[in-house]
Structure formats: structure tokens, C-alpha cells
Structure 1
């Protein structure tokens, strides 16, 4: 996996995971070694999640 931090990426959101994880409890094991490679925020998206990136801000809002 290329290093996303070199591009200034601070948040990773994985979505459309096939097959779908049967439980949120499996998200940690599914992420595996990714958190050792990428030191920003890593999330697994779910149906109904809404991300917004406010103008002129570094904030990422998840509702």
C-alpha cells in the first residue's frame, strides 16, 4: 500500500467492503496492520454515514 501520509492524507475511510463485515467488532481485526502503516484516523464506513468537510477547515465531521 502506498504511503498516504506523503500526500498529506490524515483520514482514511474504507467503504464498500465486500463481503460486508458481519459485526462492528470485526473492524479492528479487519484493519490489521493498516494502523501500523498509516498514523492518521482510519474508519470503516457504514450505511447512513455522512461525512462533511467544512470549507476552510481541516475538520472532518462524521454524522
Structure 2
């Protein structure tokens, strides 16, 4: 996953966390928040949306 604006996993979390963190109460809400944040903030990562959702789920230990 390569994006011009994102150079590391830390940077990805830092960019999307403010949009995702309020929705960590369940996997479905978190996934919706990640998808919306990607579409708005990092549309160039759209082909990797599911990978990013999975990454956030692992990072926050949220089971589907």
C-alpha cells in the first residue's frame, strides 16, 4: 500500500484516528468510519480500503 501522503502505518493511524476513534464500540461502526475517512481524507487508498479496515481492527483489537 503506497500513497504519496502516507509514509508509514503510524502516519495512516495519525491521519484517520480522529475520524475513527469515536466509532470504536463495534466493528461495523469502526469499518464505516474508516471507509468514510478514507474517502474524504485519502481517496488514493480506495483500492486498499478493506486492508485499512482490517489494519484498524487489528490495531484496536476489534473483532468482526
User: Going by fraction, where is strand more abundant, 1 or 2?
Assistant: 1
TM-score with structure 2 setting the length: 0.37
TM-score with structure 1 setting the length: 0.37
Give the number of the structure whose alpha-carbon radius of gyration is greater.
1
